Chains A and B, each alone.
Chain A
Amino acid sequence: MTTETKPTFNVVGTRPIRPDGVDKVTGRANYGADIALPGMLYGRILRSPHAHARILGIDTSRAEALDGVRCVITHDDLPGASDAILDFGESVSPYKWVLEQTFASEKVLFQGHPVAGVCATDPHLAEDALSLIEVEYEVLPPVLTVHDAMAEGAPILHEGMKTVEMVARFVPGDGRGERDSNIASQLEFEKGDPAAGFEEADIILEGEYDTAAAHQGYIEPQTGTAYWAPDGTLTIWTSSQGPFAIRDTVAHMLGIPMASVKVVPMEIGGGFGGKTKPYMEPAAAVMSKLTGRPVKMYMNREEVLIGTGPTSATYVRCKIGARNDGTLVAAEATLAYEAGAFPGSPVGAGASCMLSNYEVPNLYINALDVVTNKPKAHAYRAPGSPQATFAVESLIDELAERLERDPMELRAQNAAHEGTRRADGVPMPQIGAVETMQAAIDSPHYRSEIGIDEDGRLVGRGVSMGFWHNAGGESSAYAMTSADGTVNLSVGSVDIGGQRAGLAMQFAETMGIDYERVRPQVVDTDQIGYTNVTGGSRVSYASGLAVHEAALDMQEQLRQRAALIWDCDVDAVSYEDGALNGPDSQQMSFDEVCGRLQRTGGQIQGAADVSPSRPGPAFGCHIVDVAVDRDTGKVDILRYSAVQDVGTAIHPAYVEGQVQGGVAQGAGMALTEEYVYSPEGRMANASLLDYRMPTSLDLPEIETILVEVPNPSHPYGVRGVGEVPIVPPLAAIANAIYDATGIRMNSLPVSPTKLLDRLLEE
């Protein structure tokens, strides 16, 4: 669907084959664990069996004595803590927390917390040696929920930690309250006059909602291979979303120059935000330094689940007020997100996103970042937004029912538009919320009848909106010509979702040449300027601008060469549609001028480093039909449609894939995925057999409707598309379950057990 007359493109909007596709489907592509180097050793990690315990002593002597073991390391082998704040591109973390997460020093704070590492000649030997390390613990009571963590007298995870305000975290004297607290920080947003807004309301609805921790579920476990060469340079091979974030962090941790660390990005088997920070790379580097040999480390699935960050489990209390005509007049919310063992949940993003779909003149949001004895929460696709949106969109659905209004028409009545202030007060730029809602209303799915299930199950339909900011940030690119008119395009953005193809397409479009003439590659950190993470839905936008600017740089140099050849002023030469035009109607194609570069000064390269900041927010609206088995509580998704403003779809097939992937993950959060813990804080379902992600058998074909409201700050109108589709499924599915059963499920996931209990109660 197109919402306005668009410019005609030659390459943008087509669906060429991705250059990395064949290698990936035939198994030739090299992922992190595929690396093999001469003399390579293997590292394994000893992890805490306890969720909360004091370390009284670590005896590594028996492990070190085992034949084949080359070294054993602990926290003591890492450089000391400092007050530095590490910049991971999109986010920051105090160095002391990064250090503690790599290896625990005085306390372990979650089951799976690394305590020691073994380096040996064989991975199985290293595994065996782990059992020879003796750790003496004083087990402490664990804190497993935000409610427990905030309760009076709760065990304190971090002695000396006091609540700080998230924005003004460094205001002198801040540190709210005198006592130590598990609430690491607080963020408040206020707009208008919430009290007056609720006074004005004819109807006020309120609810409490909670969601479980869910893992990013990437297929490829974390890896990290390091070689500390005798000349002091360190090379790291890893499958990370942020090679530069890894480089800078490891350099800081080990006290070596950033320029001495090279990170080679391997192909990456999914990340979804979970691979933006280091886990094993620092340990592999230390082991390599101690042994003088390359050291390879990788996690198994259990380690991934217990040792790497899922998204937060959350609690949200929310209240909305509206007039009888459906106009929203006020909202209020308290959010408490689990950060896991160290501060830093995505509660701030949840707070800023949850009401951004609508014009709400008066609001107050109180967001709390709460530490618990669980793995440190990590970014996960639109971090924080799905959970908070679940609360708001459930209440909007209730409001529509109370007012006897069509749920989409009510949403459209209150839709955000250009100039609407977000919760943090910042006005929206040109956005496509209204267009997205209207496209949903007009969609074949929404206009269809739900029908009756032949198996006698209860059927219902739900809808939900979703919002995500999207991001910009630093990206670099360069492109080199060859005499035959082909181009090598180098970028620093790791390719997770078809970035090679999407960036080559934008470059080809700007140059006016065929896509097939551009050979894109992702290069290591020694070969490209600083490039922020592949995350935040930023690559097609920011790296797209980088390749566009690199193409313009190339065009400028080609104009100069043409002027030399034609013996004219450079201003008399123009570049258009893949050809140079000069005086007297002279013309040279891109191929022709490339063929003459060699003897006019040599081949050229166009380059660009950019840091754009107008990514264009994204909106999605999802429609879902479900069937509920009243005997088992099982929910099946019968039909699913995802409508999304994508700005301009550079490669529509990849955009559709991103949308479908987001829906699948959101459906998992809604129905099946959750971390289950014992009272002692041990994860009871740390395998993909028991941690239940949706499979292709659980989902129907997900229909996509791409709305294109171009981002005016990008030459082709690109908006980020990858994250927002995970936002609406939680509420859309819960609303559909309500429509089917009359039961409002405010706790996710809606497992069969949970729903059956409610069905039996009714």
Chain B
Amino acid sequence: MRPSAYKVMLLGQIGVGKSSIAQRLVFDRFDTSYKPTIGVDVYRYEAKTIEAEPVPMIVWDSDGNLGDAMFRHVYLKEASAALIIGDVTRNETIEAMPAIAAAFRERLPGRCVCYLVNKSDLSPPTPLQGELARDDTLLFHTSALTGENVTRAFAETARAIVRRAP
């Protein structure tokens, strides 16, 4: 049965900008005050792709405090994709991204994964290092502040979801 909307998880460590990405995506705004997400915030969004009808998404902005517990949680149930976000100014959050992707794929095999290297406005583009550099997963350098690549990342994720949908 084709779902009425595709569930997309925003995952990543605390403070990488998950909520800012969601706010930029859904309301096209950026809030300068930092307020950690508690539990999950759930948004509706319609991704516009070139070749298909708008793809309805339910975006789950998760609490970075959940850590690995997220992968045992009901929140992840029936998710169609995960956007895994890191902060380009904090290398440890970037290094953690492949492990988060692996845990998501283990829980939900075959689902779409996309990397967002966020806060690109704070750092000049630099070549990726380590495991992330060797990973062929879809990756975008984004900025929730300027909006760079935010809608594009979701559009590409929507395309990948539709392509894989039964």
A associates with B: no
Interface residues of B (CB under 8 A from A): none
